[in-house]
C-alpha cells in the first residue's frame, strides 16, 4: 500500500473534442504506450517514485513543454535539438493524436509524452532535472474569478521551480495582456528573473520559434503575441 495520498486535482479544460479519425486512433493504439513513461500514472506508481530520466533519454538534457496543443512546436524543437530529450504534457486527446501523426511524419525519436495533466508529471520529475520549459499560449481564463485556474499560480509554479535546474530557461508566450500582468507578477516570486532588457525582447519571437495554432488564431483575431523569457535563479 502506498502512503502517498493522491491529491484532488481539478482540470477545467477539454479532454476530448470531435471523434478521432481512423488514422489517429491507430496512432494512439500503436504509438502512445511506447512514448509515455508509465511511472507518471498514479495507479502504476502510487508511491510517486521519480522517473529515471537518464534511462529515458540516454543521458541527454531534458526539456518540458506544458500543454502542447497540436504538438507543432514540440516536434519542431525535437527535430532542431536531437541532443535533447523533450517531454510534452497535454490532456486533450485530440491534440495528443495530432502530435502522434506529426511524430510519425517527422521521424523524431527524442520525445516522451504524458497524455495528461502536467501536475502529475511534476510529482515524478526529480528535483533540478529540467533544463528548459515552454508554456505556450496557456488557457487564458479571462474572468477574474477564474484567474486562479491559470498556470501562473503557486499550485503550478512551485513544482515547476522545484524541477527546473538553476539557470534553466522558462519561456511563456501569450496574447492576453492580463495574462502577461499575472505572469510578470507571479513567476519572479517563484525564483525566476525576467530576462527582458527592452520592448524588443518580448515583442520579437525567439530565434528558434515555430508559431503555434493558438498563436495563428491570436494573430488572425488581431491580438499581439508576447514572448517572455525567464531564468531560474
Ligand X SMILES: C[S@@+](CC[C@H](N)C(=O)[O-])C[C@H]1O[C@@H](n2cnc3c(N)ncnc32)[C@H](O)[C@@H]1O
Contact status: 66 vs ligand X (CB under 6 A): yes
| Beta carbon nearer to ligand X, 123 or 215 | 215
Quote the DSSP letter at residue 144.
G
Q: Of 29, 123, 131, 139, which residue is the catalytic one?
A: 139
Instruction: State yes or no: residue 98 binds ligand X (CB under 6 A).
Output: no
Pairing mode, strands 130-136 and 192-194: unpaired
Catalytic (active site) residue 117: no
Nearer to ligand X, 59 or 206 (CB): 206
Figure out which of the listed residues 37, 138, 159, 225 binds ligand X, where binding follows CB under 6 A. Answer: 138
The C-alpha atoms of residue 77 and residue 58 are separated, in whole angstroms, by 18
For the chain, the C-alpha Rg in angstroms (whole number) is: 17
Please, what is the minimum distance in Å from the beta carbon of residue 214 to ligand X? 3
Number of residues in contact with ligand X, rule: CB under 6 A? 21
3-state SS string for 72-97: HHHHHHHHHCCCEEEEEECCCHHHHH
* Contact mark string toward ligand X, 164..203, x via CB under 6 A: ----------------------------------------
CB of 123 to ligand X, least distance (A): 12
**Residue nearest to ligand X as judged by C-beta position:** 67
Contact between residue 230 and residue 185 where contact means Cβ atoms under 8 Å apart:
no
| Strand order, beta sheet including 111-114 | 111-114, 84-89, 61-66, 130-136, 164-174, 226-232, 192-194
Catalytic residue IDs:
139
Residues near ligand X (CB under 6 A) are 13, 66-69, 89-92, 95, 117-119, 136-139, 212-215
Amino acid at each position: 500500500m502506498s502512503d502517498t495520498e493522491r491529491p484532488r486535482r481539478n482540470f477545467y479544460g477539454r479532454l476530448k473534442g470531435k471523434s478521432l479519425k481512423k488514422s489517429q486512433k491507430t496512432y494512439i493504439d500503436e504509438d502512445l504506450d511506447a512514448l509515455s513513461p508509465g511511472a507518471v500514472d498514479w495507479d502504476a506508481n502510487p508511491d510517486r517514485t521519480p522517473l529515471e530520466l537518464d534511462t529515458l533519454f540516454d543521458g541527454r538534457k531534458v526539456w518540458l513543454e506544458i500543454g502542447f496543443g497540436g504538438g507543432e512546436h514540440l516536434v519542431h524543437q525535437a527535430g532542431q535539438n536531437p541532443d535533447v530529450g523533450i517531454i510534452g504534457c497535454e490532456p486533450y486527446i485530440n491534440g495528443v493524436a495530432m502530435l502522434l501523426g506529426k511524430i510519425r511524419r517527422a521521424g523524431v525519436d527524442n520525445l516522451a509524452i504524458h497524455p495528461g495533466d502536467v501536475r502529475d508529471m511534476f510529482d515524478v520529475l526529480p528535483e533540478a532535472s529540467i533544463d528548459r520549459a515552454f508554456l505556450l499560449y496557456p488557457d487564458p481564463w479571462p474572468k477574474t474569478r477564474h484567474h486562479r485556474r491559470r498556470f501562473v499560480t503557486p499550485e503550478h509554479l512551485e513544482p515547476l521551480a522545484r524541477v527546473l535546474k538553476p539557470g534553466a530557461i522558462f519561456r511563456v508566450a501569450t496574447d492576453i495582456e492580463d495574462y502577461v500582468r499575472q505572469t510578470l507578477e507571479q513567476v519572479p516570486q517563484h525564483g525566476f528573473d525576467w530576462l527582458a532588457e527592452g520592448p524588443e525582447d518580448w515583442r520579437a519571437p525567439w530565434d528558434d520559434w515555430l508559431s503555434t495554432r493558438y498563436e495563428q488564431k491570436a494573430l488572425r483575431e488581431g491580438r499581439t503575441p508576447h514572448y517572455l523569457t525567464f531564468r531560474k535563479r
